[in-house]
Structure formats: structure tokens, C-alpha cells
Structure 1
Amino acid sequence: MEMDQARIMMVQHKPVAVEAGLGRMGIHRNIIHPKFGSFILLGTILLADEIDAYDQPIDYNPCLECRLCVGACPVGAIKHDGYFDFQTCFTHNYHDFLGNFTKWVEEVADSRDAKDYRSRVSPSETQSIWQSLSFKPGYKAAYCVSVCPAGEDVIGPYLDDRVSYVNDVVKPLLEKEETLFVIPGSDAEESAPRRFPNKTIRHVRAGRPIGSVQAYLFTLRLGFQRGKAKKLDLVTHWTFTGKTPFQGTVRINDKILDVTPGTHAGDARLSITADSEAWLRVLSRDLELAEAIESRLIVPSDADLFAAYMRCFPF
């Protein structure tokens, strides 16, 4: 039977778990159960019938705010002030999942021979891809879960001796020699080598496919690099033309991002007119940005401000 694509639903397990009273979301953006801590797997069952009782969110957050997850994250995706850099986490932690598979296939196709392939992809990375295809993808980090001491069943060693807990649980992850996958121009590219000189940096592309200009504006929050936006005050009006006409406003104010799709709002310092199909080709690396600008498929009103805007969203 053919599946009705219009009826496919995407369920976010974490908000459902919070509303069901299973726990609260910690600084590391994982659900912390009062008893089992972060060491749980979530699943959701959707019911079409009425039910006679509803659970309620718990009235406290089991998160200890110890920030061990902040220190353990090898790519700095979890910030001390609670901000979470989704794109940085996704790029490294989920490197062996579907998003990177197509990029790996392109590396194989672009390689001239075996030697050229080995210069592009290390043996360990090839083995990881093979394991992902043969069994299931493995997480590259998830250190935020590994070090989390919250939860009745796991908090004991942390309370007994916090110094020993850090030495035994956290430090081995910090000292581990491994490859970190980061996007060129991202905050992680700058901070990771400074924090972890013992780890190898590997430049990769973002693994999130963008299928429409509406999706591009919607997902800007996921890839926003606050470090690149520091002290930047910029209102940008997007005007997409061609096959998919659309408008949008992107406001950046000193590391704070606001996106208003569907309209031009406020006074813009930067205006960008872009053919919708050309912009999607730029994002997928099928068209060079410089070539698109030269062909006037993409027309920014100010080259310097456009460069500052693009630095906030490396891809």
C-alpha cells in the first residue's frame, strides 16, 4: 500500500517525555529521569482514542547544573550560558549517520584512485562507515550523557568524591586521541584545537540537506554560529525569486538570532535577491557562490555585510 506522504508525522520524543512526567531536559539537551538519569531511551506511541488520565511534568529539574557536559563536549556544542549549538553537535556526533553517507559516496566518486581516496578519508573513518552500514551508526561523542551524574541510580559516586569522579569519568574523555569533525569557519574549528590539542581536526561539510528556501530560513537557527556574530548588528532582507518566490527577514544582534519567514520586517542594512534554485545549488555545493554572484543569480546589496552574514552560517 502506498504511504500517504501528507500524513507522515515527525514526533519529538523529548518534549513528549517532559509532558508525560518522565523527566526534564538538562543543559546537555537530553532528558534526565529522576531515578535513571540520562541513561534512558525514549519512544512515543500515538493514540487516536480518548484516554481517561494524563501525566503531568515533574515539578523540578533533576539536572545538577554541574556543567560537566559543557567541559566534556569535544566540539564545544554546549555553552556555559546554556546555549546549544545544534549544527556543531550534529556534524560531529552523528557523523556516521545518513547525513554524512552521501558525502562519503561523493568522496569515493571524486577520488582518482585508492591513494587519492586514502588522502581524503582515513582508514579509521572508512571502518566507521563500514560499521554503520553493516550494523548501525555509532555516536562519535555523546560524552554529555557519559559524564552526567544526575539521577538517583548514578549520582552516588559523584556525591562521594567529586574529584575522583572527574578523574575517572571525565578526564579520560578529554585526553582521548580522536578525530573531531567540524565545519570550516565554524566556532568549533576555532575552539576545539585550543581546548583539545591532542585531538585531530577533520574538516567536513554540514550533513543536513536543505530542500527548499523555506527550509533554509527555518533551519538557520540550527547552524547559527554565535562566535562569528559577536558585536554584529545586522538586519537582512531575503528576496527569493524564480521557481519558489519567497521573502524573509534575518536579524542578528550580538549573538542573538531572530528569523521572520514570509515577510520583510524592519529596516534592512543588507538586502539579498537570489534565484531560489540557484541558492539551493550553492548550499549543496553544486554551484560556487562566487559564480552565482558573478552571474547575478544572487545579488547582495553590500559585499562586506554579505560576507559577515555568511560567516554566521558556515555550510
Structure 2
Amino acid sequence: MSKFDEHPTVKHWRKQEASEAKIIPSTQIDAQWLRHLCLEAGADDVGFVEIDRPEIADQRQDILAAFPPTKTLISFVCRMNRENVRSPARSVANLEFHSTGDEVNHIARQIVAELERHGIRGCNPAMGFPMEMNKFPGKVWSVSHKPVAVAAGLGQMGIHRLVIHPKFGNFILLGTILIDVNVTTYHQPIDYNPCLECKLCVSACPVGAISADGHFNFSACYTHNYREFMGGFTDWVETVVESKDRHEYRQQVSAAESASVWQSLSYGANYKAAYCMAVCPAGEDVIAPFLIRRKEFIQEVVKPLQAKEETIYVVPNSDAEAYVTRRFPHKQVKQVRNSLIPTSIRGFLGGMPLTFQREHSKGLNAIYHFTFIGAESCKATVIIRHQTLEIQNGHLGTANLAITADSKTWLKFLAKEQNIVWAIVRRQIRFQGQLRLLLDFGKCFPQ
């Protein structure tokens, strides 16, 4: 006899089970029924993707870690009010982001609750936050909503790295639900990209993160737009800690900045820009003003964001700093520390494409061999040529500069906790080749 047999809950369940007809849980549900359920809950569009879809193969492990029985991903969108997002008053735009984000989470939870009543298990990761911050600065999200939405036929990625819905444009927020059953019909990506490649996002971005040729400078976007999130917030905390007194703090942080941090802590972290979304004219419901009166559209939507006087946060000697100074001289540039600081060698190598400064790599043509020893042992080749970055495992080709480093010492050097001169003297970091290439390397990844 099980020790639980006499427990009132167990006895009640067994009595109920014996009196009711056996219901065999379904392993497959009707796609039309599920779509109707999602739309009734408030979603504006929805699509279904099987867990084994090649387009999301790189996410499979994380998805199954969050919800092991996952067989299907429900991807859905909620529309935002466009004019709120377009407003130069970013408090208005952020209210729209927060309100729609809450709506996405509420709808997802409502769908999961209804499915549970039908004997279907489900899990709804957050639209945005909270995330698994114990993994920061690595991957902290359980599901990457954008590639799931693309696989589910809800749009394609524009050059601004946002999903553009064919009807609603990029004025959407995304939600994903994981369920433990198959669906009778799965959706496929749409066969065209709604992105017009009009380049308005390129012209509106205050830090030059989006290039006309499609290149994206992740660190430029992250440093400014997400200033009051994660790494940017940590940088602010370190400024507080390092200040001797309130006078020194006030010299580094304005009253407006302190109030802005308070506001983000009190009412949810605010984005500094998101102008790329604001100016995008793509989508059947959105495109008319751009086609009918293009000059007026640019004057009303794009120009106010470009003309706005504001503080732009940049890493010193970065492409973003040079861009803002040249393109928007009326905006105030503020130098801040790079907050994308790796805590592992794997993070260092994997994060390099995110912090690579293409413009600062002009004229550099070099092969670097890294050999890390100690706590994390590995070899890697970094090739910088023609303003591109390539990273390979192992040592390939002939190195122009070979770097051998104790892994912990190298990470401390990147975090500015270790003087590289002392590390060289103690032979914790060793070089072979042209040392000037180390300086050139550093220019491509400013701290």
C-alpha cells in the first residue's frame, strides 16, 4: 500500500476516477479549433509550428528545457496603436509597449488556462521580461519569439531586425505558447518579405545601428536603446558605487537621468528610442499614408524623431559615437562603458559579432590565433578583413598575431579588472607576432 493511499485527496480522486468514463487524452488537436480559441482570447493573428521545424532547431534545447513535453509552438501577435509608438514623447511610446506587452502575457495565460481545462498542458514564457537573469550576460530568454513568428507565417524580418506582419506591419508584439500535443495543420513562412527596404529606419536610428546594406550594429542599439535595462543599469549602479559623494555623482549623472532610472524602476524599464519601429511604413494597414503623401509622412513621422534634442548613449571610440557626432550634431553624446562584458571565454568568442565595430576595422587585414589555458581551455581563429569578422574553432591559416592567455586573466582584462602590462610581465598573457595588431584589434571592440 502506498503511503498516500489514505490521504483525503488521493481517496477523492480515485473515487471520482472510478465513477467517470475514461477519457483518453488527445495527442492531436484541430488547428481550426485552436486558432478560434486564440483569436477569441484576444490575439490578432496566430500560427502553429512543430517543435522539430528546422527554422527553430537552434532553439529546441532551450524550449524543451523550459517545457520538456513541447510538441507544438503557438505563435501569436497583438497589434499596437501606431500613433503612440510614433510619438516623439517616448513616454507615450513606452506606455504602448508596456500596455501591449501586458496584454500579450494576459492573452497567453488565458489560452493556457483554457487548454488546461481541455486536458492539454501548456506553458507561456514571458513576452519580454522576466527572463532567466541568472544566465546574464548570456542568453536569458527561453524562447526567441521572432524566428518562431516567422516560421509560423506571421511575417518576415525587416532590415531593422523586427518582424513585419503582412497586414499590421511592425506595430506588433509577439507571444509564444508551448503545448504538449500536435496540431492537425502547421503553418509555413509567408513567401515574400513585407519590408519595403525604404531605409527610413536607417535614417531615423540615432546611433546608426542599421546600415543601408543590411548590416546591424547590435552593440550600438543595445547601448542606447536599452540603457536602463540589464547592462546599462549595471553601469549606472557602478557609477553610484564609484562616486565619492553626491557632488561627484551629479557631475556624472544628470538629475534627469537619475529621475529616468527611478521611473524605469517604478513603472517598467523604458526604451530610449525604437525609432526604427516608429517610422516603418510596411504592412497593408499601414502603408497608405506613405504611398499617398510621402513627403508629408516623412515630415510628420520621421523628421520629429531626427530633430529631437536628446542624450545619446555610446561607447567611447565606437562607430555609434562617430555616427551621432556627424549625423545628429544637435543631439548630446554621452560616453558610457561597454556593458556587454563577457564572463566566459565562450561568451567572449560568441559575443564578438555583437560588439564588432565595422567602421573602425577599415584597413585591417589580419588573422589572430587565440589559445586559452587554465579554467577554460580552447583554441580559436579570428579573421578580420574587408570590414568583416569571422570566428572559427581551432587554429586556421597563418597567424599575424598569436595570443596565449590564461582564461581568467583575459576575462579580467576585458572587464578592466586586470592590468595587461602586469599580466604580460607574469606571462599570464603572451604574444607572438606584430603587437600593433593588438591595438588594431582593440579598436574593433572598444570597451
Same fold (TM over 0.5): yes
**Amino acid of the structure 1 residue aligned with 2:374:** G
Task: Specify the alignment match of 1:195 in structure 2.
Answer: 327
Q: What is the SS of the residue equivalent to 1:219?
A: helix
Counterpart check, 1:44 vs 2:176: yes
**Root mean square deviation, CA, Å:** 1.6
- Shifted more, 281-290 versus 105-114: the winner is 281-290
Task: Specify the alignment match of 1:234 in structure 2.
Answer: 366
Task: Specify the alignment match of 2:390 in structure 1.
Answer: 258
Q: What is the SS of the residue equivalent to 1:45?
A: strand
Q: What is the SS of the residue equivalent to 1:271?
A: strand
- Shifted more, 24-33 versus 273-282: the winner is 273-282
More RCO (CA 8 Å, sep 6+): 1
Whether the aligned pair in 1 keeps the contact of 2:155 and 2:163 (CA below 8 Å) is: yes
Distance 2:415 2:65 in 1: 28
Distance 2:151 2:435 in 1: 47
Alpha-carbon deviations, 1:87-127, whole Å to 9, x = none?
11111110011221221111111111111001111112111
Task: Specify the alignment match of 1:134 in structure 2.
Answer: 266
Counterpart check, 1:293 vs 2:351: no
Alpha-carbon deviations, 1:236-286, whole Å to 9, x = none?
10011122111111111111111113x111111111111100111122222
Consecutive unaligned residues in structure 2, runs of 5 or more: 1-61, 67-140
TM-score under structure 2 length normalisation: 0.67
Alignment counterpart, residue 180 of structure 1, candidates 312, 315, 332: 312
Counterpart check, 1:7 vs 2:73: no
Alpha-carbon deviations, 1:166-218, whole Å to 9, x = none?
11111111110001111112111112111000001111112224121011101
- Shifted more, 289-298 versus 195-204: the winner is 289-298
Whether the aligned pair in 2 keeps the contact of 1:36 and 1:154 (CA below 8 Å) is: yes
**Amino acid of the structure 2 residue aligned with 1:7:** A
Distance 1:294 1:179 in 2: 41
Distance 2:359 2:264 in 1: 33
Distance 1:198 1:116 in 2: 26
Counterpart check, 1:267 vs 2:325: no
Task: Specify the alignment match of 1:110 in structure 2.
Answer: 242
Deviation of the 1:297 alpha carbon = 2.2
Whether the aligned pair in 2 keeps the contact of 1:300 and 1:306 (CA below 8 Å) is: no
Deviation of the 1:289 alpha carbon = 3.4
Task: Specify the alignment match of 1:81 in structure 2.
Answer: 213
**Amino acid of the structure 2 residue aligned with 1:269:** N
Deviation of the 1:230 alpha carbon = 1.5
Whether the aligned pair in 1 keeps the contact of 2:281 and 2:290 (CA below 8 Å) is: yes
Q: What is the SS of the residue equivalent to 1:177?
A: coil
- Say how many residue pairs are matched: 310
Deviation of the 1:294 alpha carbon = 4.1
Task: Specify the alignment match of 1:222 in structure 2.
Answer: 354
Deviation of the 1:25 alpha carbon = 0.5
Q: What is the SS of the residue equivalent to 1:80?
A: coil
TM-score under structure 1 length normalisation: 0.94
Whether the aligned pair in 1 keeps the contact of 2:401 and 2:435 (CA below 8 Å) is: no
Consecutive unaligned residues in structure 1, runs of 5 or more: none
Distance 2:420 2:233 in 1: 24
Deviation of the 1:65 alpha carbon = 0.7
Deviation of the 1:156 alpha carbon = 1.4
Higher Rg: 2
Give the fraction of aligned pairs with identical amino acids, expressed as a percent. Answer: 51
Q: What is the SS of the residue equivalent to 1:69?
A: helix
Indicate how the Cα distance of structure 1 residues 64 and 292 shifts in structure 2: closer, same or farther if over 3 A, else same.
Answer: same
